[in-house]
Structure 1
Amino acid sequence: MNATIKTAIENSMSYASYRELVMHLVEAEDTTGVEKSESRINFTKLNNRRMKRWDKTLKVDEKAQKLIADFNDKITWLVITESWCGDAAHVIPMLNKIAELNPNIDMRLVLRDEHKDLIGMFLTNGGEAIPKVIMIDDETGTVLDTYGPRPSEATGYVNRFKAANGALTAQFKEDLQHWYNNDRGLTIVEDITEKLCKFQPSFCR
């Protein structure tokens, strides 16, 4: 296993610990990351509310549950995140719901600004976009694939807007939040089951 990835896993936290961290940050009027701006502190508060809601309401449909439960290779999902990241607040709770369905999937989280060498290995179009999921084969230590920073449909939505307008506007970002709320994690489930099928084709036959 790559030394940077190994160190990150050793210093990682569970989803439950991450949720506790975010809640403590809200109480302390603080945020993760190097930049401690008022806007990022406010985003941390907002994201705590989002994750609390998703933790209670997100569901994986029965067909996907059975498929995910049949995956029998041991893998680690190393998730790079920050408390202020809006996409992370929508994506990570559903990843947790999926990981909870199968003991072979171990989801661990690290903070981007504390692991610059790690995010530097997994840039998105040259940028440190998060959340980024590194999918690792536990037996070999091989990186099987990555996921993020957004679900596939949202990625296409963002890319089309950027191509037409050059940059994301405040209105677009609001529209993207509506997309997440309407999608309710369904695209994430589809994306992840597709990747699991790629890792282990026999389990999808």
Structure 2
Amino acid sequence: MTTPIPAQPPVLRPEQLTAAYTYAQYRQLIDELMTEDKTTGETQSAELTAYARLNIQRMERLDKKAELVPEMTAALADITQSYEWVIITEGWCGDAAQIVPVLEKIAQASHGRIRTHYLLRDQNLDLMDGYLTNGGRSIPKLLILHADTLTEVTNWGPRPALAQDLFLEMKAAGATHEEFAEALHGWYAKNKTQATQHELLDIVRGL
């Protein structure tokens, strides 16, 4: 006798999805807070505001210049079902600034099969705490859900494996936050979204 597989519960409620930001709303929120020298999140400081200001510049650059690799465009054309991509993020997060624009470009090129929804980490800790990285609330975190059931297909994040390896190496070596941030953003600049795209490509091909 075969034991039935329990039904997978939805990752979040439909009303949570409805309350999420669109990419345009997320960007507008960050810009508006910056006029008050603030950023998203429960903690406010001059340091976090400075990070957020740099992140706005990073996102603007990627919005204008980042291009999807041809393999991604081809894989997106083969998707036959609809998906909700829930992105847990914050305006002060440097990794999010380097990755969120890429996620949005992928969704925009999906012919309506992928819809993005942006949730702030500190306002959604109950959801975030189900997707910890080594016990930490690392972001961004991408949750890929079936559109009809809101059950999980897979998740990804907070950064490409190569960048995560760099982070772990520098952390083990006792690097300061400033040293790590400089090295990480230097890596992102040289990599030009390639590692992010190719990891996500493997996921998109499986959808």
Q: Same fold (TM over 0.5)?
A: yes
- Indicate if the aligned counterparts of 2:10 and 2:152 stay in contact, CA closer than 8 A: no
Alpha-carbon distance in structure 1 between the residues aligned to 2:97 and 2:13 = 23
Alpha-carbon distance in structure 1 between the residues aligned to 2:94 and 2:82 = 29
Aligned AA (1:53)? R
- Indicate if the aligned counterparts of 2:86 and 2:144 stay in contact, CA closer than 8 A: yes
Match status 1:51 vs 2:63: no
- Indicate if the aligned counterparts of 1:8 and 1:115 stay in contact, CA closer than 8 A: no
Match of 1:22 in 2: 30
Secondary structure at 2:20 match in 1: coil
Alpha-carbon distance in structure 2 between the residues aligned to 1:107 and 1:193 = 16
Secondary structure at 2:17 match in 1: helix
Match status 1:63 vs 2:71: yes
Q: Deviation above 6 Å: which 4+ runs of structure 1?
A: none
Aligned AA (1:82)? E
Per-residue CA distance 1:93-118 (angstroms, 9 max, x = gap): 01111111111011110101111111
CA RMSD of aligned residues (A): 1.7
Residue correspondence of structure 1 range 111-150 to structure 2 within 5 A = 111-150=120-159
Secondary structure at 2:206 match in 1: helix
Aligned AA (1:72)? T
Aligned AA (1:59)? E
Match status 1:94 vs 2:94: no
Match of 2:5 in 1: none
Aligned AA (2:108)? E
Alpha-carbon distance in structure 2 between the residues aligned to 1:149 and 1:38 = 24
Secondary structure at 2:42 match in 1: coil
Aligned AA (1:144)? V
CA apart distance, 1:193: 1.2
**What is the TM-score of this pair, normalised by structure 2?**
0.89
- Indicate if the aligned counterparts of 2:10 and 2:149 stay in contact, CA closer than 8 A: no
Percent of aligned positions that are identical: 32
**Structure 1 residue ranges without an equivalent (≥5):** 200-205
Identify which range, 140-149 or 98-107, moves more after superposition: 140-149
CA apart distance, 1:72: 1.8
CA apart distance, 1:23: 1.2
Which structure's residues are more often helix, by fraction?
1
**What is the TM-score of this pair, normalised by structure 1?**
0.90
